[in-house]
Chain A
Amino acid sequence: MAEMKCEQCGSLDAVVHLTQIVNNEMSTHHLCQKCAAEKGLQGSEDPSSHHLLDLIDKMSGGLSDASHLEAIQCGFCDLTFGEFRKTTRLGCPQCYEAFGDQLPRLLRRIHGSDSHAGKIYLPPDPSASEMEKRLEGLRRKLERAIQVEDFERAADLRDEIDSLALVKEAT
């Protein structure tokens, strides 16, 4: 398969191999990424491989001090930015801080945002401010549950808000 060319454009390597039945005959088509995408056969963006590599490459490619960037290292797990570029996997929670503004930039490219809007986590033995943040999140959820008339969930959320508020007052 390695040498196979795309049957559509004939120039790029075929990387998508589609098997389908047409008129009850099984046929296989070999297409390059581009032609496959045009035919709608390949996911527009594969979140975990080529696409992410592209994004990271573009991000550091435009910088004049790319080699300096490559060498930035996480103080906790020793992963360098260069290694991250190759593997697209971060080494530990601290990497999110260690690579400075590179991470928020990358996140904006991937997600269109660099700021979490989902569940507010309440860790074991939370501080008062963590509890307050969590309460805010729960109230948002409650509003939404009421909006969509999910009253069972709304009741659960109210209970949780009440008990957390009590705990917060007591601490």
Chain B
Amino acid sequence: MTRFGFVPDHGLDWLEASGEHSDVVLSTRVRIARNLQGHAFGSRARINDREAVLRCFRRSVERSQMLKDGTLLVIPEVPVRTQEILHERRLVTRDLLGPEGSVPATSAAIHFSAEEPVSVMVNEEDHFRMQSLLSGLRILEAWQIVDQLDEELGREIPYAYHQEFGFLTSCPTNVGTGLRASVFMHLPGLVLTKEISKALRGLGELGLTFRGLYGEGSEVVGNFFQISNQTTLGRTEEDLVDDLERVVRTVIEKELHARQVLLRDAPALTEDKIWRAFGTLCYSRMLTFEELMNYLSGVRLGVSLNILPDVSVYTLNKLMIFTQPAHLDQAAGRNLSDDERDAHRATLVRSVLANDGDVSSGASDIQGNRTN
């Protein structure tokens, strides 16, 4: 069993709902991609390349203020369920773990800083991917943390850098700054008032893109959207970050306006929707993850509109993470079948919500499995 105690706040401080507009923006993530000079990128790297990349990283960690007291996990040495838990907490990508059921590639690793909310994936598609994941809308802050780490590592690691194209990456969509900033937003107001397409239209022209909650090609679940920059070349990092921030703030305004429209034009219907979602979660005996996400969307809207004042956004954020398959298996102490998971999920949700959304009592349930 791998303990999560060494990961600051168990890698979950991004759930704390502390940042600005945290009822609309769940989290902000900024990552940058870097590669080691003279070695093939992830997809073509041989074992020698991968080992050299990890060795080089380990050396640089010793001289990095931000990383030296942190924790390095070499993925093939980590139990499979722990790998999945890290993935469900959005701390590692599927790419780093390799296809489900396969043995993770040699020298794939993740390093968590003990000082700052920042981590580095080693031997992913690119050799190094540094990311900062923060609660709420904090794009500039996340960028500055990652930038500072990049400065430290760049003094030690000879990066693949081109005078014309900037930082070289495996995928040409990342070249230049290597920067991807993304913001996870909950936009039920815009979906319910059918304004969502209008609100998100034209993002492409601004060099931005959006997609559903879970990664590439996934369905849009629970009215959650991720907005991120699409272009990485030809602009400064600060401009990329500013543009995203500006657009996200506009979308937030539109979302808050749409929520007021719902309350004004259809108060009974809106309240009914919210209470039914809450009621379903309080009494269900079986819940699929998709169902849960959709009902959580209604409850989250209710919390934001102060219709469900006793539930906290923090609780809702945690429910999203702790109801995923590997987390449920971990809490149960064994691998559950799909039906069993649906039942365990419903039980966990009931027990957390039955405490009037009391974070501490809900968290004690959760605490048990997050430190194991």
Q: Which of A41, A45, A79 makes the CB contact (< 8 A) with B209?
A: A45
Identify which of B158, B238, B291 contacts A123 (C-beta below 8 A).
B158
Binding site for B on A (CB under 8 A): 15-21, 23-24, 26, 38-49, 52, 76-77, 79, 87-93, 96, 103-104, 106-107, 110-119, 121-124, 140-141, 144, 153
CA–CA, A92 to B37, complex, Å? 9
Can you name 7 A-B pairs with beta carbons within 8 Å? A41-B196, A79-B44, A93-B41, A96-B168, A106-B172, A111-B234, A115-B233
Q: How large is the interface on B (under 10, 10 to 19, 20 to 34, 35 or more residues)?
A: 35 or more
Question: Smallest distance from the beta carbon of B207 to chain A beta carbons, Å?
Answer: 7
Instruction: Give the shortest distance, in Å, between B237 (CB) and chain A (any CB).
Output: 5
Q: Given contacts A46-B216, A88-B172, A119-B237, list 5 more A-B pairs with CB under 8 A.
A: A44-B204, A90-B170, A114-B165, A118-B235, A122-B155
- Interface on chain A toward B: helix, strand, loop, or mixed SS? loop
Q: Which residues of B does A touch, CB under 8 Å? A: 35, 37-44, 125, 144, 147, 150, 154-162, 164-173, 175-177, 179, 191, 196-201, 203-204, 207, 209-211, 216-217, 219-223, 230-238, 269, 272-273, 276-277, 280, 290-291, 294-295, 297-298
Residues of B within 8 A of A117 (CB): 176, 233-236
- Report the Cα distance A117→B210, complex, angstroms: 24
Knowing A21-B273, A21-B277 are in contact, say whether A118-B237 is a contact too (CB < 8 A). Answer: yes
| Chain A nearest Cβ from B58, distance in angstroms | 16
A-B contact count (CB 8 A): 193
Interface residue from A19, A43, A92 paired with B210 (Cβ < 8 Å): A43
* B297 contact set on A, CB distance < 8 A: 21
A19 in complex: contacting residue of B197, B201, B294, CB < 8 Å: B294
A107 to B165, Cβ gap below 8 A?
Answer: yes
How many Å lie between the Cα of A43 and that of B216 in the bound state? 10
Cα distance A46–B230 in the bound complex, in angstroms = 8
In the complex the two chains form, what is the Cα distance from A42 to B41 in whole Å? 29
Contacts of B207 in A (CB 8 A): 111-112
Nearest residue (CB) in A for B233 is: A111
With A21-B297, A40-B196, A107-B165 already in contact, the answer to whether A124 and B175 are too (CB < 8 A) is no
